[in-house]
Amino acid sequence: MTAIRLLQHRASDGTRSVILAEGDSAHFILGGVTSTRALALKALTAGTSLLDAAKACPRGAAVDIAAEFAAGNLLPPIDHEDPAHLVLAGTGLTHLGSAEGRDKMHRAAAETEKQTDSMRMFLEGLEGGKPAPGTVGQQPEWFYKGDGSQLVSATDPLAMPAFAQDGGEEPELAGIYIIDEDGTPYRLGLALANEFSDHVTERHNYLWLAHSKLRQAALGAELLLGTPPEHVEGTSRLLRGGAVIWEKPFLSGEGNMSHTIANLEHHHFKYAQFRRPGDIHVHFFGTATLSFADGVQTQEGDVFEISAAPFALPLANPLTRAEDAAVAVKAL
């Protein structure tokens, strides 16, 4: 089946446009559409799908998306003109991982007198994360990452704060959503993502998970339209000085998850504050593959490279550290 994707392009003069890619071919969309969000609003008004709205627009010149990616002209596939109206959040402990990993987890659970909260949540997801249609399943782990100011493109640096103890990759899929004027969430599609986290902080105390997730996140340039694929197989690499120092395959898609996507969506959008008309949501679905789990300690200058079919373009984000910013609260 041909993969159909939307991309956002910004020319050297700042002019923005949207690209529709079908398989190996791609072309600019004309008709005044300069963002994915604008096209989505157009589709909502017309009562049509996002793909049909894109195809209804006049067709522009052909474009080589690989060349535009190399030139740094591709933005994240979704954004909002007011970053405060874009929510980055996600769910964890959602993926099955390898059979060996599951066996180890179950043996640990059986051998430990008292299960950890993480283990309990993982096992509860295995038991109740895929409910029958029309019923509500087990609530997953949930976390907040920030607003649109923390979203970076597929080639931008991922900057860990000056106080961070670690900066580690999390290769996964992210669902992209828009909220209609009546408060209904609509899924626009999926993007390849690096959720990026501080695993040293999280490991110190699980109650610090919330702190460890307040970091930037990167999205691949493509928004995959249509029904989410059941199986996605990709590769996550860590490069240092141009050489691969760690590499591992990762699996995603509902067939490799302990929760249905619908169940994860329900437990996010059940909160009224996440159904504010016009807002954009980027929701990370989780992963089971981390270089940190294999004992790798990242360094500034390392590059996180993530690729997976049916996405044609990878993510390649270098790791940097932000400058220290002294903060002192003043009385007014």
Given this model, what pLDDT does residue 99 score?
Answer: 37
Q: Kindly state the helix (H) or strand (E) to which residue 203 belongs, with its residue range.
A: helix 199-204
- Classify strands 74-75 and 171-179 as parallel, antiparallel or unpaired: unpaired
Distance CA 332, CA 325 (A): 21
Rounded to whole angstroms, the maximal C-alpha distance in the chain is 64
Stretch (H or E) spanning 36 = helix 36-46
pLDDT of residue 106: 44
pLDDT at 292: 92
Q: What confidence score (pLDDT) does residue 65 get?
A: 98
Which residues are CB-contacts of 189 (< 8 A; sequence separation ≥ 6)?
A: 5, 6, 50, 77, 175, 176, 223, 224, 225, 226
> Residue 43 belongs to what H/E stretch?
helix 36-46
* pLDDT of res. 100: 43
Can you give the pLDDT at residue 235?
A: 98
Q: Pairing relation of β-strands 171-179 and 185-194?
A: antiparallel
Structure tokens at 299: 């360094």
Task: Check residue 3 and give its pLDDT.
Answer: 95
Average pLDDT by stretches of 10, the chain with 332 residues? 94 97 96 96 97 96 97 98 98 70 46 69 78 88 97 98 96 98 98 96 90 97 96 97 97 93 96 98 95 94 98 98 94 97
